[in-house]
Structure 1
Amino acid sequence: MVSSPHEAMHRIFQEHPGLFSGVSEMLGVPFPPPVSVQILPTDLTEARPLERRVDTLLRFDTEDEGSFLLAVEAQGKKDLSKPASWAYYLSYLYAKYQRPPVLLVVCQDRSTAEWAARPVRIGPRQWASLTLQPLVAGPHNMPVIRDTAEARKDLALTTLAAITHADNPDVAAILKAVSSALRETPEELSHPLAELIAQGLGKRPAAHLWRHLMAADLSFYKSPVAEELRDQGREEGREEGRAAGVAEGVLLLLTQRGVDVPDEARDRILSCDDLETLRRWLLRAPTAPSVEDVFTVA
């Protein structure tokens, strides 16, 4: 049952809305006096069911600080409606589980990551009743791992870093380091990580390179993507078809790294039908300083 003091402490603001100006000034956070006031319904129950889902939700239990919740959101672009949704998620999780929630936003481009990382103050300029401040992982702060030994240290972190750096000009070296590390890893761990990278790269140019790296040793990558590559090979069934795919990979690699490819060199790559030569060029493309170095016999 609601007590009389409870009723008095809030109903006075219904009867005398201008009271807030005086109270706020006394508290050192002055608000301007209102020119009009409207009393709104106090029932905050959703009028209709709304489906709200966080991408991933985990509970962590620790020895020193108890437990907390981790909500993970993947954000592909700026969305002005998201901060309100994120604030709702955190408030709801805190109310439901009675444990402090943390929001981690993962991005693949710097602009979106910097936008997501900005604190959002919810309330008038005089006083923010809530401040939304997500943790953000993206190309602006995730490590660029080009060394195989470094990649082996934490394969999950290496995988996430590779996904967040999908548009990095040095993505060829990044993926090569990951691929080399995964080749020395038990299948039960390496295969799911390889699949996650394939999914994370989506339709970006780097995805083509990753497919070639996976296809280089199909006895190792017995994954759905590797099976897809086998099927493509059977469907094509022609040597020239396979050569064209590798040639395209060489060009995509060089273009992604910003290496200048004159028309004459482009024609040479595309017209080559010798798979061994093309594979040799494909291996040189991630590190060659110029297109001439791709063609040079070591």
Structure 2
Amino acid sequence: MPSIRHEIPLQLLRHRPEVAALIARTVLGLPVPDLPCWRPGPETVTLLSPGELHLDVVLVGTVTEKPEFAVIHEVQNSCGVPDLERIALSWPAYVTHVRQRLGCPVVLLAFCPDEPTARKIAAPVETGHPDFVFRPRTYWPGMLPAITTVAEADRWPELALLSAPGHLADDERRSVLAMALEAMQHLEPDWRVHYHDYISKCVPARYRKEWEELVAIAIENYHWESDFAQEHQAIGRAEGKAEGKAEALAGSVLRVLKRRGVHVDDAVRARVTACSDLDQLTRWLDLAVIVDSAERIFDDGADPLAEPE
């Protein structure tokens, strides 16, 4: 059964087929034309003998109804000997059969989880015919540009999710993860939980708490559409993460104060981390954005967030 790490990149490309052409052109330097329309194409190849080859996804670029260019896109997460043997026999056939079927130029790209895998998958395939050497064109998330601004995430949400796993060890990690969340609100509602799971599985354990903090902030500040917030809240309930959510919110309160340069003494830190009331922690988080003293998040008087009269 295909894994989430195999299916999610393909779903992102099916959602917006021109992304594959953009990657081929701007990241891999391939002569793929900037055509006005890209659509999913045939994903099976019929053989002379009974049977079929099943491609991951084919994206077809057109000007009218006539195919002008096609991009075969595979997701390849492993590079063992059986994988390389299968690729040597099947991928050249994908290209020649799709070219014959559509009558247009074809390139094959492979999305790999990391650079070592991509380099092994990119090894030349000797077909046996003189001068006919097939070279898969591979890339991995780190080859894609990091998406770190709202404008980029809103314009290319698919790239924000595809590139995020390759930039989680960078200084811009927090921005990359925040923009992955931003991107999800522009994608299909039915797939948002799956996209969340995909990023969660890609985040190394040492950064998992930081990711959960960002998700908690997004939910508690109602940054997302209500259905998305409910989906994430359902995930939290299903997995019994109420305690973890409070811990994440408490960490967010302290982090916001620190980032703003507001001094946090041991007494404030102890009170925040000991709190398990999500509503209270949410209020403290809202106040942490504007107070000039850490102790003021505990004020019971006038609400500093209220609109002036």
Unaligned runs of 5+ in 1: 1-43, 254-267, 285-294
Residue 165 of structure 1 is matched in structure 2 by 166
CA, structure 1 residues 236+199, in 2 after alignment: closer, same or farther (shift >3 Å)?
closer
Deviations 1:132-174 (A, max 9, x none): 2333232342102223344344333333222x52654443320
Residue 52 of structure 1 is matched in structure 2 by 53
Residue 36 of structure 2 is matched in structure 1 by none
Deviations 1:77-132 (A, max 9, x none): 213122322112112212333322211211221212222334333227xx34x222
- Asked if 2 retains the 8 angstrom alpha-carbon contact of 1:191 and 1:222, the reply is no
CA, structure 1 residues 72+190, in 2 after alignment: closer, same or farther (shift >3 Å)?
same
CA, structure 1 residues 83+202, in 2 after alignment: closer, same or farther (shift >3 Å)?
farther
Q: What is the rounded CA distance, in whole Å, between the counterparts of 2:141 and 2:106 in structure 1?
A: 24
Give the 3-state SS of the residue equivalent to 1:95 in structure 2.
helix
Q: What is the rounded CA distance, in whole Å, between the counterparts of 1:138 and 1:91 in structure 2?
A: 25
- Asked if 2 retains the 8 angstrom alpha-carbon contact of 1:146 and 1:174, the reply is yes
Shift of 1:201: 2.2
User: What code does the residue aligned with 1:203 have?
Assistant: K
Report the number of matched residues.
218
Q: What is the rounded CA distance, in whole Å, between the counterparts of 1:67 and 1:75 in structure 2?
A: 26
Residue 16 of structure 1 is matched in structure 2 by none
Tell me which of 107, 111, 128 is aligned to 1:106.
111
- Asked if 1 retains the 8 angstrom alpha-carbon contact of 2:217 and 2:252, the reply is no
- Asked if 2 retains the 8 angstrom alpha-carbon contact of 1:108 and 1:166, the reply is no
Residue 9 of structure 1 is matched in structure 2 by none
Q: What is the rounded CA distance, in whole Å, between the counterparts of 1:136 and 1:110 in structure 2?
A: 9
Q: What is the rounded CA distance, in whole Å, between the counterparts of 1:50 and 1:99 in structure 2?
A: 24
- Asked if 2 retains the 8 angstrom alpha-carbon contact of 1:55 and 1:74, the reply is yes
Tell me which of 121, 127, 140 is aligned to 1:122.
127
Q: What is the rounded CA distance, in whole Å, between the counterparts of 1:82 and 1:216 in structure 2?
A: 47
Give the 3-state SS of the residue equivalent to 1:203 in structure 2.
helix
Residue 205 of structure 1 is matched in structure 2 by 203
Q: What is the rounded CA distance, in whole Å, between the counterparts of 1:249 and 1:113 in structure 2?
A: 37
User: What code does the residue aligned with 2:232 have?
Assistant: L
Unaligned runs of 5+ in 2: 1-46, 256-269, 297-309
Tell me which of 227, 232, 240 is aligned to 1:229.
232
CA, structure 1 residues 178+235, in 2 after alignment: closer, same or farther (shift >3 Å)?
closer
Residue 138 of structure 2 is matched in structure 1 by 136
Residue 10 of structure 1 is matched in structure 2 by none
Residue 151 of structure 1 is matched in structure 2 by 153
- Asked if 2 retains the 8 angstrom alpha-carbon contact of 1:218 and 1:226, the reply is yes
- Asked if 2 retains the 8 angstrom alpha-carbon contact of 1:56 and 1:73, the reply is yes
- Asked if 2 retains the 8 angstrom alpha-carbon contact of 1:122 and 1:131, the reply is yes
User: What code does the residue aligned with 1:146 have?
Assistant: T
Residue 29 of structure 1 is matched in structure 2 by none
Q: TM-score, normalised by structure 2?
A: 0.52
User: What code does the residue aligned with 1:52 have?
Assistant: L
Q: What is the rounded CA distance, in whole Å, between the counterparts of 2:193 and 2:238 in structure 1?
A: 22
Shift of 1:54: 0.9
Alignment of 1:1-298 (within 5 A): 45-46=48-49, 49-62=50-63, 67-78=68-79, 79-80=83-84, 81-123=86-128, 127-128=130-131, 130-162=132-164, 164-165=165-166, 167-169=168-170, 170-180=172-182, 189=187, 191=189, 194-195=192-193, 197-201=195-199, 203-205=201-203, 209=212, 211-212=215-216, 214-217=218-221, 220-223=224-227, 226-234=229-237, 240=243, 242-244=245-247, 272-274=274-276, 276=281
Aligned-residue CA RMSD (Å): 4.7
Give the 3-state SS of the residue equivalent to 1:165 in structure 2.
helix
- Asked if 2 retains the 8 angstrom alpha-carbon contact of 1:215 and 1:221, the reply is no
Q: What is the rounded CA distance, in whole Å, between the counterparts of 2:107 and 2:182 in structure 1?
A: 34
Shift of 1:73: 0.8
Residue 259 of structure 1 is matched in structure 2 by none
User: What code does the residue aligned with 1:101 have?
Assistant: V
